[in-house]
Structure 1
Amino acid sequence: MIASSNWKRNFFTIWTGQAFSQFSSSVLQFAIVWYLTDKTGSAMVLSVAMMMGFLPQGILGLFVGVFIDRYSRKRIMMISDSFIAVASFIMVIAGWMGILSTEVILVVLLLRSIGSAFHNPCLQAVTPQIVPSDQLTRCSGYSQAVESVSQILSPAVAAVLYRSWSLSGIVFLDVIGAFIAVFTLGITVIPELHQDENRGKVQVLREAKEGFQILRSNKGMLGLVLIGSLYTLALMPTSALFPLMSMSYFNGTSMNASIVEVVFSVGLLFGSLLLARWGGTKNRVYTIIGSFLLMSFSLFVSGVLPPSGFYVFVICSWLMGVSGPFYWGAYTPLLQSNFEAKYLGRVLSLASSIRLLSGPIGLAASGVLAEKYGVEKWFLIAGGLVLVAAFLCIMISTVRNCDNR
């Protein structure tokens, strides 16, 4: 841990750069979705694009933690950000050459996801090297607030730029954001981990297995990771079904769908700022349980509303947004504080993989159920799954008591 007088400067320097990068990437993401919609009008293409965006992270996360724990985390993040920028620049070159196709965009999304597979767990692993353990939850709230602001502003900015710029111009914005992130990382002091055991030849499978054994040795945290996968299985499809719920079940328009998305993001921002101010409960598992209960309540109410209940659905969407940061803002610091720094890369990337790989199961199940029984029924099912997650946190003593502060 570096001197307490410097940790705030280092943390906020890193996150300023990450804020620029996250915002520009979010703008580009919306622009790509609209571009693919305009050019193809295919739901299948959009589904494949979503899979390209997160499936590589889920698969590679089983192994990338080995490199995060072995090599300079600062250097890995700088290389990852640069790799993502270069991958995006492929679209600019393809546009100049007149060969920008759906296939090229899907390949770029795949490459960006590979870069993120290294970058995201590495950033999470670095945070406890900088931030005092008693400030991790509060700093997680600040990070969630940055993400929420990005979600609120990026659709509007993307809409303006998409009408006035080419897709290549928006890619340039993302490249600039990535290099700002690289610059702020370059001027930040991040203590290196000195581990004699990490010298020598990389043995990916053995070291990845060791990371799983470390996670498994903490039964409470392993249980929380698996419960988090149940939460993801319920919520990832729900977010995908939000527009359909607004426009199909409530007979709304694209404007109604936009209102719901913006209100949800405002709820995220409110919850993030509240968590940053408050810091959560002393036992962070109770913060997670409270988040689950609020989310479950909001989903249940949404699922039983009549088609005339759109404005109540808007309120429920705000409550869903409010609940989110209290889960993520407590879950990540719990992982960060329960394992030694030298294992964090493997533990965090493995936990992320377990969570992300549950997403396709939920997406497949929700598609079938929504098609056969109605989209609102999935909200009831999701509410039930999240409620089960809350009760598991309460009933399993190792999970309930896994906060070691």
Structure 2
Amino acid sequence: MAQKLLWRRKFFTLLGGQAVSLITSSILQMAIIFYLTERTGSAMVLSLAALVGFLPQALFGPMIGVLVDRMSRKAVMIGADLMVALAGGVLAFVALFIELPIWIIMVILFIRSIGTAFHGPAFNATTPLIVPEDRLTKCSGYSQMIQSIGFIISPAAAAFFYAIWDLKEIILLDIGGALVACATVAALAIPSPEPYSKAGCQHFMQEMREGYDAIRENKGLFALLWIGTLYMFVYSPISALYPLMSMQYFGGTAAHASAAEVAFAVGMLGGGILLSAWGGFKKRTITLCASILLMGISIAASGLLPSSTFPIFLVCCAFMGLSAPFYGVQTALFQEKIKAEYLGRVFSLFGSLASLAMPVGLLFSGLFAEQLGVHRWFFISGLAVIGIAVMAFRLPSIHQLN
């Protein structure tokens, strides 16, 4: 009983600190978007800001994974949060003296995203060190709940704070959130895999290769890696096309676009609650494939709706959100079946592939959506996602995973 309480206390303390940091970071991210929109009104500037957000993970992910596995995961998480706090501090300091130049904002966003690229794999690689194996799926649901709450709270909170504060004061709020996350990690005794202290003598490229080999050895996980990359290629542009679907096809306003985002986040919160309480099907690959299938059906149905049925589109958005947390069982499968000393590299590799798939998917979908109409592209993308789900269902190597 004491052991059960111990891991719960550790996990929820860690998750609580990360929740504070996630929410304050999301508020700052939205406030920066407001600031850039107000200052420039340029779609190119906003696209560049989005690009620097995932570029470090896309370019440096495999190398970051090696460093995560070489070092104490606790130290990596604290260092990543301190990097985010320090970058914010520099931005706030500059804002005291001059109006913030766009290039400085971009540099700070890039540095913050480097911190995020370290933090994500370190957190995912730390979870199985403190959570029992049979609780990893439910803990994935708790993490999805926190993420969903952040998605729901941050846009409204950012609009509120941006109306009453200067940007530098919102930056200070984010610094406070990062320091809270550092304090919670510092207060916990987090074990590290034994091999990390011996890794310094190994060749860096060899260690990167070892992370790839660790996942390739398991045919089911290797198939999931590429299924996930393909899924991100098809799905990620859909989230970027929400505003166009809401405002162009359904003839709505910015409020309608926000309503679609909130509907997705509320559905995602519901999915996280359901996953944390239920845990999904006993065979988790069925949960994962069903998640992709529900997402595909919801997207395809959205593309078939008449332009006068925006409320039904909101229902479809909620079902898309509901499906998302159940895809997170993939993280639990990696955490269980990959040795702890390789997890940093494995999660960084997956993040890197997903980050590379996103811009390619956005470019591809942007070209076709303009030619075909955004609603038709929703339908085509939905069919493609359904096809990915069917392929995942039928792959024997995935079926062999529990």
One fold, TM greater than 0.5? Answer: yes
Residue 14 of structure 2 aligns with which residue? 14
Letter of the 2:204 counterpart: V
1:237: Cα distance to partner?
A: 0.8
The structural deviation recorded for 1:199 is 4.2
Q: Measure, in 2, the Cα distance between the counterparts of 1:200 and 1:272.
A: 39
State whether residues 55 and 356 of structure 1, in contact with CA within 8 Å, keep that contact through their aligned partners in structure 2.
yes
Residue of structure 2 equivalent to 1:265? 265
1:263 Cα deviation after fit: 1.1
Amino acid at match of 2:387: V
Q: CA deviation at 1:292?
A: 1.1
Instruction: Note if contact 2:70-2:200 (Cα within 8 Å) is conserved in structure 1.
Output: no
Q: Distance in 1 between matches of 2:49 and 2:215?
A: 31
Match of 2:393, as an amino acid? I
Bigger CA drift: 383-392 or 314-323? 383-392
**What pairs up with 1:183-222 in 2 under 5 angstroms?**
183-195=183-195, 198-201=198-201, 203-222=203-222
Q: Percent same amino acid at aligned positions?
A: 45
**Structure 1 residue aligned with 2:162:** 162
Corresponding residue for residue 365 of structure 1: 364
Q: Give 1:270-309 correspondences, 5 Å limit.
A: 270-309=270-309
Partner of 1:332: 331
Give, in whole Å, the separation in 2 of the partners of 1:196 and 1:254. 49
CA RMSD of aligned residues (A): 1.3
Q: Does 1:346 align with 2:345?
A: yes
Q: Which amino acid aligns with 1:370?
A: A
Q: After alignment, is 227-236 or 72-81 more displaced?
A: 227-236
Tell me the matched-pair count: 401
Which runs of structure 2 are paired with 1:6-405 in the superposition (5 Å)? Answer: 6-195=6-195, 198-201=198-201, 203-328=203-328, 330-403=329-402
Superposed displacement of residue 250, structure 1: 0.5
8 Å Cα contact 2:297/2:383 also seen in 1: no
**Cα distance in 2 between the residues matched to 1:200 and 1:307:** 59
CA distance in 2, matches of 1:146, 1:120: 14
Letter paired with 1:350: L
Matched AA of 1:7: W
Q: Distance in 1 between matches of 2:316 and 2:400?
A: 30
Give runs of ≥4 in structure 1 deviating > 4 Å.
Answer: none
Counterpart CA distance in 1 for 2:151 and 2:196 is: 42
Letter in 1 for 2:317: S
Instruction: Between 299-308 and 122-131, report the one with greater CA deviation.
Output: 299-308
CA contact (8 A) 2:298 2:319 kept: yes
Q: Is the 8 A contact 1:236 1:362 kept in 2?
A: yes
Task: Note the C-alpha offset of 1:5.
Answer: 3.6
Deviations 1:206-247 (A, max 9, x none): 100111111111111011011111111122111011011100
Question: 1:276 and 1:231 mapped to 2: Cα distance?
Answer: 23
Aligned to 2:62, the other structure's residue is in SS state coil
Which sections of structure 1, spanning at least 5 residues, go unmatched? none
Matching residue's letter, 2:253: T
TM-score, scaled relative to structure 2:
0.97
Structure 2: distance between partners of 1:401 and 1:84: 41
> Does structure 1 conserve the Cα–Cα contact (< 8 Å) formed by 2:289 and 2:389?
yes
CA contact (8 A) 1:20 1:177 kept: yes
State the secondary structure of the residue aligned to 2:215: helix
Q: Distance in 2 between matches of 1:199 and 1:22?
A: 31
Q: What does the per-residue CA deviation read over 1:155-209, in whole Å, with 9 as the maximum and x for residues that have no partner? A: 1111110011011110101000000000000011111222278244352211001
Do the aligned partners of residues 3 and 66 (structure 1) sit closer, same or farther apart at CA in structure 2, a change above 3 Å counting?
farther
In the TM superposition, what is the alpha-carbon distance from 1:3 to its structure 2 partner? 3.9
Measure, in 1, the Cα distance between the counterparts of 2:252 and 2:333: 40
In the aligned structure 2, how far is the partner of 1:82 from the partner of 1:197?
22
Deviation at 1:385?
2.0
For residues 197 and 311 of structure 2, what CA distance do their matches in structure 1 show? 58
- Partner Cα distance (2:135, 2:196) in 1: 29
Matched AA of 1:356: S
Distance 2:161 2:242 in 1: 24
CA distance in 1, matches of 2:149, 2:291: 20
Query: TM (normalized to structure 1)?
Result: 0.97
Q: Cα 1:198–1:381, aligned 2, differ >3 Å: closer, same or farther? A: farther
- How far is the alpha carbon of 1:135 from its aligned partner? 0.3
Query: What residue identity is the alignment partner of 2:35?
Result: Y
